[in-house]
């Protein structure tokens, strides 16, 4: 065995121990993709806590590094598809692309390491699992906030296929994470505190089962006839004028020929600024909307006459409905490096060829899209574009503070950047979690997949195969009402977690 630290304690880290943690982290990421990944996560996390508990005699620095290795294994496997966007699409050097993926994985792993420190810091007892779960919830929240946030690959989305999905309408994804971590710790501690662990696991199961008996949203109106258009255009076509024109022709024809009440095309379906689109295109679609009594929603590149800080363009969803002005939603939560350049990082973006990588940001309080219907009341849809459906707290806040009701969630996405990887299934689970949290159905219109219709319980009701050019024509039932999570957001679970950590610190100092 190769010693990595000499340390002052009796225990020394070795390469085999670190490799075991790396492999366990990688396995945790792999199981998230399985049909019952949320269930498998829990015993696998128990094994990880066991491995980390073996390092109780290591220094804090060694313990932090060990848990960092576990996180790196998890995120490298979960986020490797970023290599495709950087190297295959963006043209970045292969080595530099690998380094970029590793550095991002190492950064987000820091939050795992900080959360794991609670195992090492707090005095071991039957309630240690509460402190670990609280640490994890707070760390995950911070991961979604600091430097604009990157909460992708949290434990919560795996719970869409796990035992704690029913908690999401009450307290959101962070509460699902809290319970997953707490349950896994109790399983790990069964041999030390069997009665307490069995009792608490039983109580958690009872709460989870009983939470499924209440519903906070209800159907409204007749089902809506929809069509979701999936063009399946490679990303290389988005920078080729002929390719862009081909996409515009395909999507405009699909919308023209549809007889659905609502037709949705994906993010940047029209991948040119609105002022450069073929003459009369938008006007013709507006006329179609009015004459055929249909609603159209599609992605464009918005252009601002008064640029914000020199940013002239935005990632926009443009909506056309009968007898009303055109609707527009500009993406608010932008992707660092992909859609805006953080200060001091222009050199990084210049290393690869990403067009339109410095967008203007949309406002925090944008109106819902109004879907007009014949002989029925209109419906209201909350729009998100691609990456935005990662942020459940932001979506809940928008719905809570919007003067209009919200009956549907609509996400426009283009994941051609990430090729044939698990990125589309990961984002699908995030959309499922958003439906669970809000109790609202969701429509996902994507370029390469996964185009899908989700029920208010997050279940996939209909979907198109990935990497096929097709349209999904079906019906969706709109809902009305607000879940407790929409009313409260993350405040209850964060308050509870912070109080637990304060109690833990007081208790630690006392003993």
Instruction: Provide the annotated active-site residues.
Output: 267, 331, 386
- Give whole-number Cα distances, 434 to 82, 408, 409, in Å: 23, 11, 9
Sign of CA dihedral 30, 32, 37, 41: positive
DSSP assignment of 422-434 equals SHHHHHHHHHHHH
Alpha carbon distance 175, 398 (integer Å):
20
* 8 Å CB contact between 6 and 16: no
Phi, psi (degrees; rounded to nearest 5) at 277: -70, 155
Q: What angle do CA 54, 59, 65 make, to 5 degrees?
A: 80
* Residue with tokens 């396995």, as numbered in its chain: 27
Q: What angle do CA 295, 268, 75 make, to 5 degrees?
A: 120
Q: Is 318 helix (H, G, I), strand (E, B) or coil?
A: strand
What tokens were used for 98? Answer: 């690998």
What 8-state DSSP symbol labels residue 326? Answer: P
Interstrand relation of 262-264 and 295-308 (parallel, antiparallel or unpaired): parallel
Alpha carbon distance 392, 173 (integer Å):
8
Roughly what angle, to the nearest 10 degrees, separates helices 491-510 and 128-143?
130
Alpha carbon distance 194, 76 (integer Å):
36
Rg (CA), the chain: 24
Interstrand relation of 408-413 and 442-446 (parallel, antiparallel or unpaired): parallel
Alpha carbon distance 163, 283 (integer Å):
49
* 8 Å CB contact between 252 and 285: yes
- Which residue intervals of 219-326 are DSSP H helices? 241-257, 281-292
């Amino acid at each position: 065995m190769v010693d990595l630290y000499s340390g002052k304690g009796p225990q020394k880290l070795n390469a085999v121990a670190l490799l075991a943690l790396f492999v366990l982290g990688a396995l945790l990421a792999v199981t998230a993709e399985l049909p019952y990944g949320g269930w498998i996560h829990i015993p696998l996390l128990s094994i990880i806590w066991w491995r980390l508990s073996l390092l109780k005699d290591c220094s804090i620095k060694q313990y932090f590094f060990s848990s960092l290795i576990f996180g790196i294994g998890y995120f490298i496997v979960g986020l490797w598809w970023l290599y495709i966007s950087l190297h295959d699409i963006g043209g970045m050097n292969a080595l530099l692309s690998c380094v970029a993926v590793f550095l991002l994985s190492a950064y987000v792993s820091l939050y795992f390491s900080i959360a794991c420190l609670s195992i090492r810091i707090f005095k071991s007892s039957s309630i240690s699992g509460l402190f670990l779960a609280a640490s994890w919830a707070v760390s995950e929240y911070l991961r979604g906030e600091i430097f604009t946030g990157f909460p992708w690959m949290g434990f919560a989305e795996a719970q869409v296929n796990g035992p704690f999905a029913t908690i999401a309408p009450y307290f959101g994804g962070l509460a699902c994470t809290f319970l997953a971590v707490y349950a896994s710790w109790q399983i790990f501690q069964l041999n030390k505190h069997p009665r307490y662990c069995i009792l608490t696991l039983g109580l958690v199961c009872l709460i989870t089962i009983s939470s499924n008996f209440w519903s906070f949203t209800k159907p409204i109106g007749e089902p809506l006839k929809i069509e979701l258009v999936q063009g399946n255009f490679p990303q290389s076509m988005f920078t080729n004028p002929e390719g862009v024109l081909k996409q515009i022709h395909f999507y405009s024809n699909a919308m023209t020929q549809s007889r659905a009440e609502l037709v949705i095309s994906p993010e940047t379906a029209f991948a040119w600024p609105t002022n450069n689109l073929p003459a009369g295109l938008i006007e013709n679609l507006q006329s179609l909307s009015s004459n055929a009594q249909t609603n159209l929603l599609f992605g464009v590149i918005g252009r601002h006459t008064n640029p914000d800080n020199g940013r002239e363009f935005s990632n926009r969803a443009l909506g056309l409905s009968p007898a009303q002005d055109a609707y527009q939603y500009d993406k608010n939560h932008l992707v660092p490096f992909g859609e805006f350049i953080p200060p001091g990082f222009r050199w990084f973006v210049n290393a690869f060829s990403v067009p339109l990588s410095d967008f203007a940001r949309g406002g925090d309080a944008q109106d819902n899209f109004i879907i007009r219907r014949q002989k029925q009341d209109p419906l209201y849809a909350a729009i998100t574009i691609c990456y935005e459906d990662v942020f459940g707290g932001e979506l809940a806040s928008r719905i809570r503070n919007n003067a209009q009701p919200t009956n549907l969630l609509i996400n426009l996405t283009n994941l051609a950047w990430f090729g044939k990887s698990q990125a589309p299934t990961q984002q699908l689970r995030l959309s499922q979690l958003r439906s669970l949290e809000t109790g609202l159905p969701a429509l996902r219109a994507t370029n390469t997949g996964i185009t899908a219709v989700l029920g208010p319980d997050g279940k996939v009701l209909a979907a198109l195969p990935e990497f096929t050019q097709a349209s999904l024509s079906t019906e969706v039932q709109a809902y009305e009402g607000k879940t407790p999570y929409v009313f409260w957001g993350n405040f209850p679970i964060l308050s509870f977690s912070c109080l637990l950590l304060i109690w833990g610190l007081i208790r630690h100092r006392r003993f």
